[in-house]
């Protein structure tokens, strides 16, 4: 049974606003691939657009250029090991979906492979072609065309990180294979506004 529910595009930026490490999925023809990316951020409100750093040398970048789309899957704590593994080898030499037995659903708009098991959310993204920068920069811009999240941890357009859903929480890379979870969520109203 899936706990994933569609997320309104107007709320899609909140899925990566807090800087989770993500899994970038890609496909073209019969080829599929997945890599880790720690660097991504929302950049435009309507339509929702994001920026994500995908090294020009990666196989992922090659597939994205060919298909014009990609998936951004947001892994939970339980997928930290897999995230590090798929970020440490290239799909040019191994089919990472097969090797790790990953089950993907097909994205509703672009047909990108999207992981739900072990993930808290996903976004399906259409590449915004920037011919004048593509050769120079690793940063890619894309429009989010569909999004969904696990309702146990993302409700009414907001993340809800609590002590009860630690395994579903997002992971944030500190470097060297070390990650943190977004523990200790609080509301601004809970902290008195006073001069430092």
Ligand X SMILES: Cc1cc2nc3c(=O)[nH]c(=O)nc-3n(C[C@H](O)[C@H](O)[C@H](O)COP(=O)(O)O)c2cc1C
**Residues found near ligand X in the complex (CB under 6 A):** 21, 33, 35-39, 53-55, 58-60, 83-84, 87-92, 138, 173
Q: Which is nearer to ligand X, 92 or 103 (CB)?
A: 92
Q: How far is the CB of 142 from ligand X (least distance, A)?
A: 14
Q: Which two tokens stand for residue 189?
A: 């109203």
Q: How far is the CB of 173 from ligand X (least distance, A)?
A: 4
Longest dimension (CA), the chain: 58
* Cis amide linkage into residue 47, ω under 30° from 0: yes
Q: How far is the CB of 138 from ligand X (least distance, A)?
A: 6
Which residues, 6 or more positions from 29, have their beta carbon under 8 angstroms from its beta carbon?
66
CB 43 within 8 A of CB 17: no
Q: Which two tokens stand for residue 2?
A: 């899936």
Cα(54)–Cα(50) distance, integer angstroms = 12
Q: Which is nearer to ligand X, 4 or 115 (CB)?
A: 115
Q: How far is the CB of 78 from ligand X (least distance, A)?
A: 15
Closest residue to ligand X in the complex (CB)? 87
Q: Which is nearer to ligand X, 88 or 162 (CB)?
A: 88
């Amino acid at each position: 049974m899936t706990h994933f529910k569609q997320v309104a595009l107007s709320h899609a930026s909140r899925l990566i606003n807090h800087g989770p490490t993500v899994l970038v999925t890609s496909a073209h023809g019969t080829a599929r691939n997945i890599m880790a990316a720690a660097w991504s951020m929302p950049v435009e409100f309507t339509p929702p657009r994001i920026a994500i750093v995908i090294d020009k040398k990666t196989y992922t970048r090659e597939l994205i250029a060919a298909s014009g789309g990609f998936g951004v899957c947001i892994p939970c704590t339980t997928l930290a090991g897999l995230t590090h593994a798929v970020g440490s080898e290239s799909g040019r030499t191994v089919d990472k979906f097969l090797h790790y037995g990953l089950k993907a659903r097909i994205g509703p708009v672009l047909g990108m492979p999207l992981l739900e098991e072990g993930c808290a959310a996903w976004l399906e993204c259409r590449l915004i072609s920037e011919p004048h920068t593509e050769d120079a920069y690793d940063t890619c811009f894309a429009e989010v065309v569909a999004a969904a999240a696990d309702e146990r941890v993302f409700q009414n357009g907001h993340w809800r990180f609590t002590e009860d859903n630690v395994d579903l929480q997002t992971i944030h890379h500190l470097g060297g294979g070390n990650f943190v979870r977004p523990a200790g969520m609080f509301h601004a109203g809970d902290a008195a506004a006073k001069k430092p």
